[in-house]
Amino acid sequence: MAHDHAHSRTDDRNALTAALALILAFMAVEVVAGVLASSLALLSDAAHMLTDAAALGMSLAAARLAARPAHGAMTYGLGRAEILSAQANGTTLLVLALVIVYDAIRRIVSPAAVSGWPVLVVALAGVVVNLLAARVLRGSGSEARSLNVEGSYRHIITDLFGFIATAIAATVILATGFTRADPIASLLIAVLMLHAAYGLLVASGRVMMEAAPAGLDPDEIGSTLAAAPGVVEVHDLHVWEVTTGFPALSAHVVVGAGADCHGLRRGLQRLLEERFGLRHITLQVDHEAATQPPLQIEVDSLEQ
């Protein structure tokens, strides 16, 4: 199992490296073509590809950091580095999308001349490059890709749709001369970027605020624990996410006075793992206080 896990991590890094090389090479071509053709749609695609390259680069760095064992003050390791990279990437997407919206509105009001053929050729090439990058990332590792690779894959797919919109805009310009199709396409790309930014910022924000992972209901977990045979009370229940794909739980469980607390703890851990997929579990199990008989006082002896 350890060998398979290491092999999967190596496959992920190789796939990310190959996709990053494809994206960087094409991004340079696209910037040059966008400037020469005076195409805001191409330049906005290039800006989005820059964020894709940053996402891939940060995913590579995060994968390397996450592979390091916990040590010193970092008792959970460095897995949350991917959350910091997601926040930075989401913020970059948000800022670039707002800049593109501003420029697109300005060009809709005062349209600029756009060369349709360079835009169409580069956009179609971008579709091919992004399909290749998506295939590389989709085929990496095992069936369950790491969330790092999954996030980068989502970026590539978003950029693919952006190139399709740009190709459509170039076709409209060539067929009708309607140059406003270029900034309109860039607005659609900006919407895709805003959607991606929102998803990244919300997801990373939930982890940083230590909210319960999506799909896990703390109330349901608490009720399940409290309903287990031998359990008297459950409190101080906390469910959070150390990093994406690493949910954790801690709770204080009170069991009956004569119960086998160690056996119950093992049973509760199996229940949490099988029903909710939780593996990093910390349970403090105590016996309930034994009922004390009422204190009997002999009045006659006190009076003497």
pLDDT given for residue 141 in this prediction: 47
CATH number for domain 2-208, candidates 3.90.76.10, 3.30.1300.10, 1.10.630.10, 1.20.1510.10 = 1.20.1510.10
pTM as predicted: 0.73
* pLDDT at residue 263 greater than cutoff 60: yes
302 — pLDDT class (breaks 50, 70, 90): very low
7 — pLDDT class (breaks 50, 70, 90): very low
β-pair type (280-287, 246-255): parallel
pLDDT given for residue 267 in this prediction: 94
pLDDT given for residue 264 in this prediction: 93
Contact residues for 164 (Cβ-Cβ < 8 A; gap 6+): 123, 127
CA–CA separation, 221 and 249 (whole Å): 10
What is the token pair recorded at 73?
A: 């003050």
pLDDT tens-digit series, residues 88-106:
778 877 888 898 899 889 8
What is the token pair recorded at 163?
A: 């190139």
CA–CA separation, 259 and 242 (whole Å): 32
pLDDT given for residue 26 in this prediction: 84
pLDDT given for residue 58 in this prediction: 76
207 — pLDDT class (breaks 50, 70, 90): confident
Same fold, 2-208 and 218-287: no
111 — pLDDT class (breaks 50, 70, 90): confident
CA–CA separation, 254 and 231 (whole Å): 6
* pLDDT at residue 6 greater than cutoff 50: no
pLDDT tens-digit series, residues 10-34:
666 777 788 888 888 888 887 888 7
Q: Rounded mean pLDDT of the chain?
A: 80
Q: Which strands make up the sheet holding 231-243, listed edge to edge?
A: 231-243, 246-255, 280-287
Q: Give the closest residue to 282 by CA, choosing from 263, 273, 270, 269.
A: 269
Q: Is the dihedral of CA 120, 37, 42, 102 positive or negative?
A: negative
* pLDDT at residue 74 greater than cutoff 90: no
Average pLDDT over residues 232-236: 93
What is the token pair recorded at 164?
A: 């399709």
The class level of CATH for 218-287 reads alpha beta
Q: Domain ranges in the chain?
A: 2-208, 218-287
Average pLDDT over residues 296-301: 50
- List Cα–Cα distances, 283 to 84, 136, 249, 255, 286, in angstroms: 29, 42, 8, 12, 10
* Termini Cα distance of the chain: 78
Q: SS3 of 56, please?
A: helix
pLDDT tens-digit series, residues 127-186:
898 898 888 877 654 444 555 676 677 778 777 887 888 889 889 989 998 888 888 888
4 — pLDDT class (breaks 50, 70, 90): very low
* pLDDT at residue 8 greater than cutoff 70: no
